[in-house]
Structures are given as structure tokens and as C-alpha cells.
Amino acid sequence: MKVQEFIKKVQNKEMDIVEHTYKVIEETKKINKEYHYLNTISEELAIEQAKNVKENPKGKLAGLPISIKDSICVKDIESTAGSRILKNYKPLFHATAVKKAIKEGAIVIGKTAQDEFGFGGFSTNVGLGFQIPLNPFDKKRTTGGSSGGAAGLTQKASFPHIAFGESTGGSIVNPASFCGVFGLCPTYGRISRYGLIDFGNSLDKIGPISKDVYGCALMLETISGHDEKDSTSLRENTDSYTKYLKKDMKKIKIGIIKEAFGKGIDKSVEKHIWDSIKKLEDNGCTYKEVSLPNSIKYGIPTYYILGTSEASTNLAKYCGMRYGITEELKGNFNEYFTNVRSKNFGKEAKRRIMLGTFARMSGFRDALYIKAAKVRTLITEEYKKAFKNFDVLISPTVPILPPKFEDINKLTLLQNYMIDILTVGPNLAGLPHLNIPVGFENNLPIGMMVISDHLKEGNLVQIGKEFN
């Protein structure tokens, strides 16, 4: 059953939502044993919420099971961002996005697995003691990341469900692509970041992952909007995104990102994307090639300098006193601080603290951090220019099919970071983008990425519906 039909049934009291929620929890536990998609299953909370919905089934999301990436706060439920340093941290409040969804009758079933603090593209950089989520189509392969648990659960669950993901450099569309589902990363500031455990404040976005584009549109219109608790959230009115499911395609002008094809792209990925572009053409769209040399050439270094710089300051607050884990109080503050962090951050988190601190150090700051900030503006301007001629831009989401874990282990650090080559651009520019599942090769899913101009999420929904 699809999300839309399910919510109608709950609203019309055609099903017992408490009974259904028990079944959902049971199935989630079963899936989790095999695939490791959740760090926490919030059974008690889900049943309590289901009982409330049974009393009052009027909300826009009445009875809908939702899962929340572990880096997004849910009141009284352990929220670790996938890191041991936040073990036992139970927020005293809901993230604004979560609060809005619950107010409309959504039911929180748990917190999904991720790379520690979002540091990764394969969900293999999980924190110490956490399990790596497995691809729903082949357990030897990655779900993608960092919202790997969110995308995997969305694909695997037989019940209607929407996941909350988070993207800093591609962590919504990348796992959505590798797990064969829709994932929508909105304009920076469209959804409040209040209650999101920061990775890079100028880059982080919350966004929905769903089996159909309707789910993404519905969730976006429910949880977006200005929030006085997040000064970077936009004041512009939100749209009714679901209405774009009914709009005619005729006038949409598509730009095909030239640099995203050719060398380094898996042939089967390339073929499926072109077939999909032809399909859009048959439905009335027009397309032309567009060159975005800066975003492809400079995207990775720019993103990794800015991302690690911001992350390294954000992680400074984890000293084993204010949040999460504590260690035996021994020595002076510096000794305690070092002990807590050495023991409880994973390898990639430590690497990013060092890289980011280096990029901000006096003597290097101008050459690294400040320069990257300038290149970011250049990249944004390149996209803005393209949007003078096109409504949307298209490329593959990821250049390759989901790799096997054994092959990921062989990658160099730079090769590992290169997985984000096509997704860091729109993330740096704060542009909304959508992964659309467009086909399979050897039973592995392939995703197409559609990017639109700021606040034009409606265009993404319109293209997405052609592949629903």
C-alpha cells in the first residue's frame, strides 16, 4: 500500500492503527536483525503515538510510520548521530522537523544507522560499537551513506514509511540511489535544523526519503518553513509540493551536466540515465547539454575543506561532560578531554577533526579555508547562471553501482571521498536535489539526480512523478 492510500485509511478509521503499529515494530525488529538499519527502535513511543492517533486520526500524516536518522533529536530517545561519544544521550526536546511530523500524526519507529556524525558515503564509518547497514539488494554491498539505514529501511519495509535523512554533501541522494528509493534534499534553510546534531552548519539539511515521490513532497510540505529557533531557516513561504504531481511537463527545460558523463562513469549507469532523459523528452521536456566545469573539478576539495573545518569546531563540544559518554574523572581537564575523545571517537571522526583544524590554523587559513569559501561562491554562481537557461539539471546521482564492502576497503582515502563527486556541487550551493530510482543493472539500483534552483523543489517533484 502506498503512503497516500494508507493515510486516507487511517483518517477514515478503516484500520486499527495500534494493531498496525505493533506489526510495524515486529517487522522492523526482524529486518533490523538481518540488515542493521536502526540504532534504536522506539517501540514504546510508537505505541503511545499510535494510541493518540487512534483517538484523533485527523493529521496529514495520520498513523504513518517514520524513522529518524540518528543525528536528528527525538525527545527521550537515545540520539547518538552514530557516535559512541553520544552514547546514552537522550535529548530533552524534539527537532523542529520531528515535532511538526508528530503533530500531524506521524509515528516514530526508531533512529536509523549512519556514518558517525555523517562522515562518509558508504555508512561504513559507523561509530565504535555500531553495526554497518547492508544493502537491501545484496548484503555484501553498501547502502551508500551517510543516511544508509534510512534508505535501506525505506526500501526493505513492506509497510508505508518515510525516513528522515540528512545531507551535508550528498547523504540523502547517495544512499537513496544505492537502495533504489526517492530522496529529496531541500534548499538550504527550507527545513529547520533545530535539533539536528551538526556536522557542518552551513551545509546541513534534513530531507525525506520515500518509496514514491508523493511521500517526499508530502513530508517536505509538512516539515518545512521558518523556525525562530533556527536563524538560518528561510522566511519565504513554503509551497504545496504535492500539487506538482498534477502539473503538465510540457515546458520543462533540462540541462544535462556534460562533465558528469564519460570517464569514470559506469556504462550501465550512463545508459539508464540517457534512457530516462529520452523518456522525459517523449513526455514533452526539452534538453541540452550544459557545462559546469568548476563544480565538478573543484567540488571535492572545496567541500572537504569546508566540511571538515566546520565539523572540527562542532565536535569540540564533546568533552565527556555536557553530553553523552563520561569516563573516570582523572587528571586535569586536558587529560580528561583527551582520554574521552581518544576512546570514543571513531577513526574518520578523528581524521576530520585533524584535517579541519589544520585548514583553519593561522598560516593555512587563507590558503585553505578562506580560499575554499571563495571557490564555493564561484560554484554557486556557475549553477545560478545555468538556471537562467534551464529549469532543472540532470546527472547520475553516483557514478557507480553500489560497491561490495571488500572493494570499499581497498579504496584510498581520496578514492573514497570521490564517491561524492556529483553530489557535493548542489550541496555547496544549497540547491535542492532529488534522487530518482530509474532502473536496475544486475539487480542493483541506479539513481538519477535532478537539481533545481533555490526554492524550486516543485520542479523536482514534477520530474520525479514521471518515474513513480
Which positions are catalytic? 69, 146, 171
Q: Give 393's strand partners.
A: 255, 451
Q: Is 116 in the site for ligand GLN (CB under 6 A)?
A: no
Q: Is 171 in the site for ligand GLN (CB under 6 A)?
A: yes
Q: Is 167 in the site for ligand GLN (CB under 6 A)?
A: yes
Contacts with ligand GLN, 197-236, as mask; x by CB under 6 A: --x-------------------------------------
Q: Give the residue from 315, 86, 112 showing the smallest Cα distance to 198.
A: 315
Span from 167-175, 257-265, 329-337, 446-454 in contact with ligand GLN (CB under 6 A): 167-175
* Nearer residue to ligand GLN within complex by CB, 57 or 120: 120
Q: Where are the beta strands (DSSP E) in 121-181?
A: 134-135, 138-142, 162-167
Q: Give 227's strand partners.
A: none
Q: Tell me the closest approach of the beta carbon of residue 163 to ligand GLN, in angstroms.
A: 14
The DSSP 8-state label assigned to residue 366 in this structure reads I
* Nearer residue to ligand GLN within complex by CB, 49 or 168: 168
Q: Give the residue from 114, 68, 35 showing the smallest Cα distance to 348.
A: 114
* Nearer residue to ligand GLN within complex by CB, 118 or 183: 118
Q: Is 194 in the site for ligand GLN (CB under 6 A)?
A: no
Q: Is 133 in the site for ligand GLN (CB under 6 A)?
A: no
Of the residues 91, 105, 120, 208, which one makes contact with ligand GLN according to CB under 6 A: 120
* Nearer residue to ligand GLN within complex by CB, 424 or 436: 424
* Nearer residue to ligand GLN within complex by CB, 53 or 450: 450
Span from 42-50, 114-122, 135-143, 392-400 in contact with ligand GLN (CB under 6 A): 114-122
d(CA 247, CA 251): 10
Span from 81-89, 161-169, 367-375, 437-445 in contact with ligand GLN (CB under 6 A): 161-169
- 60 and 218 Cβ atoms separated by less than 8 Å: yes
d(CA 451, CA 394): 6
Longest Cα separation, the chain: 70
Of the residues 57, 169, 255, 458, which one makes contact with ligand GLN according to CB under 6 A: 169
Span from 117-125, 253-261, 283-291, 428-436 in contact with ligand GLN (CB under 6 A): 117-125
Name the 3-class secondary structure at 422: coil
- 334 and 342 Cβ atoms separated by less than 8 Å: no
Span from 81-89, 116-124, 210-218, 288-296 in contact with ligand GLN (CB under 6 A): 116-124
- 50 and 17 Cβ atoms separated by less than 8 Å: yes
Of the residues 82, 105, 110, 121, which one makes contact with ligand GLN according to CB under 6 A: 121
* DSSP-assigned letters across all residues of 219-271: HHHHHBS--TT-TTS--SPP--GGGGGGS--TT-EEEEEGGGSSTTS-HHHHH
* Nearer residue to ligand GLN within complex by CB, 1 or 414: 414
> Could you count the other beta carbons within 10 Å of the beta carbon of residue 376?
22
Q: Is 104 in the site for ligand GLN (CB under 6 A)?
A: no
Q: Is 165 in the site for ligand GLN (CB under 6 A)?
A: no
**Which residue type, as a one-letter code, is found at position 319?**
C
Q: Is 244 in the site for ligand GLN (CB under 6 A)?
A: no
Q: Tell me the closest approach of the beta carbon of residue 141 to ligand GLN, in angstroms.
A: 17
Name the 3-class secondary structure at 81: coil
Question: How many residues bind to ligand GLN according to rule CB under 6 A?
Answer: 13
Q: Kind of pairing, strands 38-41 and 65-69?
A: unpaired
Of the residues 239, 420, 453, 457, which one makes contact with ligand GLN according to CB under 6 A: 420
d(CA 116, CA 417): 15
* DSSP-assigned letters across all residues of 440-456: EETTEEEEEEEEE-TT-
Burial class (CB in 10 A: 0-12, 13-18, 19+), 363: exposed
* Nearer residue to ligand GLN within complex by CB, 120 or 458: 120
Q: Give the residue from 82, 180, 80 showing the smallest Cα distance to 131.
A: 82
Span from 105-113, 166-174, 393-401, 457-465 in contact with ligand GLN (CB under 6 A): 166-174
* Nearer residue to ligand GLN within complex by CB, 7 or 398: 398
Report 300-359 residues binding ligand GLN (CB under 6 A): 307
d(CA 82, CA 127): 5
Span from 47-55, 118-126, 326-334, 431-439 in contact with ligand GLN (CB under 6 A): 118-126
Q: Is 83 in the site for ligand GLN (CB under 6 A)?
A: no
Residue 336's φ and ψ, nearest 5 degrees, are -65, -50
Q: Tell me the closest approach of the beta carbon of residue 169 to ligand GLN, in angstroms.
A: 3
* Nearer residue to ligand GLN within complex by CB, 171 or 224: 171
Q: Is 170 in the site for ligand GLN (CB under 6 A)?
A: yes
Whether the ω angle into residue 210 lies within 30 degrees of 0, i.e. cis, is: no
Interface with ligand GLN (CB under 6 A): 118-121, 146, 167-171, 199, 307, 420
